[in-house]
Homo-oligomer: A and B are copies of this chain.
Amino acid sequence: MSQREHAPQSVPVVAVVLAAGFGTRFDPDNPKQLVSVGGKPIVCWSIEAFDSNPRVSDVIVVVNPAVRDAVERLVDRAGYPKVRMIVDGGRERVDSTMAALDALAAAGIPADAKILIHDSVRPFVERESVDGCIDALDEFDAATVALASTDTILLTQDRDGREIVSRVPDRPHTFRAQTPQAFRFATIRRAYERAAVDPSFHPTDDTRVVVDYLPATPVAVVAGSESNLKITTLADMPLAERIAAARLGEPTAAATTAATAVPAVPSDMAKEEARARMHAMLAQAAAQLH
C-alpha cells in the first residue's frame, strides 16, 4: 500500500472535521451530522476516515453548542486515538474554520503542517482522495478534492431578477468542489487573515479564500468520487445507506479504512470487485431516490 512507500512524515497532518452545522431539516431534534447511516452517526464516519488513516497524525472536530455533548460522548465511546480537540465553531462555515485555525495556532502547530479541512456531512470520502491531498501538498501549498463536472456549467448574472448567462466555461475545466480541502497551515492562515480585513468577505468555501485572497498561490485539484456525497436532505439518505452498507459489507473497504494491512495480490482483485459492486449499488440507490 502506498503509505508504506512514504518516508516517515516530517510534519503534522491535521484533519479538521467541521461538524458545527445546524441542519435539522430531516430531524428537528437531531442535526444531520448526528443522524446514523449504516448504524453509525455521520460525524463518526467522517472522523474515522481520518482517524484510521495512518498518514493523518491528528484530528480536531469543530462543533456547536447543540451537538457538543453528543459528539464528546461519541468520541469518548469510540476512543478515536487521534482526536486531540473538540473546538467550538461559529455561525458560518468560515467562522468554524477560523476557530479551528485559531486553536491550532494556540497549540503551536508548525507553519508547514498539512491541514485537511473536511465537511462532516461527507462521511464517505475515499482513502485515495485523502492521500491525494496529503501528496499534493508536497508540490502545492493548497489543494482541494473535486469531481469533474459531467454537465456544461453556465455562469450567470442577475438582470432585473432573472438569471442571464454570462459565460460558458470549457467543460474540461469545470469541477464540483468536494472536501477535504487541504493547505499548508501558514497558507490558509494568511488567506484568512487577509480575508478578515475585507468588509465584503463572505466565502462559503475554504479554497475560495485562498483563490481570492492569495491569487498567486495555486490550488491543485485532487480526484474526488461520486460516493463522497454531501448529505444535505432526506433525499440523500437512501444513497448514503447503500454506500454505508457497501462499506460495512466489504472486507477490502473495511481494511483500507482500518490501519490493518491488505495482502498485495488478492487485494487488487478484491478492490476491482468491490468497485464494480459499489457502482452497481450506487446505480440502484440512485434509482430509489425517485
Q: Which residues of B are found within 8 Å of A219, using beta-carbon distances?
A: 164-165
1/0 per residue, CB under 8 A from B, across A16-38: the answer is 00000000000000000000000
The CA of A153 and the CA of B243, in the complex, are separated in Å by 24
A242 and B279 form a contact (CB under 8 A)? no
Q: Which residues of B are found within 8 Å of A156, using beta-carbon distances?
A: 173-175, 221
The CA of A66 and the CA of B212, in the complex, are separated in Å by 49
Across the interface, A290 reaches (CB within 8 A) one of B155, B220, B246, namely B246
A157 and B173 form a contact (CB under 8 A)? yes
Kindly state whether residue A169 has any CB partner on chain B within 8 Å: yes
Copy count, this protein chain: 2
B146 and A243 form a contact (CB under 8 A)? no
Given A152-B208, A168-B212, A219-B165, is A287 in contact with B176 using a C-beta cutoff of 8 Å? no
Q: Which of A56-64, A74-82, A230-238 contacts B (4 or more CB under 8 A)?
A: A230-238
A235 and B279 form a contact (CB under 8 A)? yes
A residues in contact (CB < 8 Å) with B? 144, 146, 149-159, 162-169, 171, 173-178, 203-205, 207-208, 211-212, 218-221, 227, 230, 232, 234-239, 241-243, 246, 279, 282-284, 286-290
A-B pairs with the 10 shortest C-beta distances? A238-B287, A168-B208, A151-B176, A163-B221, A152-B177, A165-B219, A242-B290, A154-B175, A164-B218, A235-B283
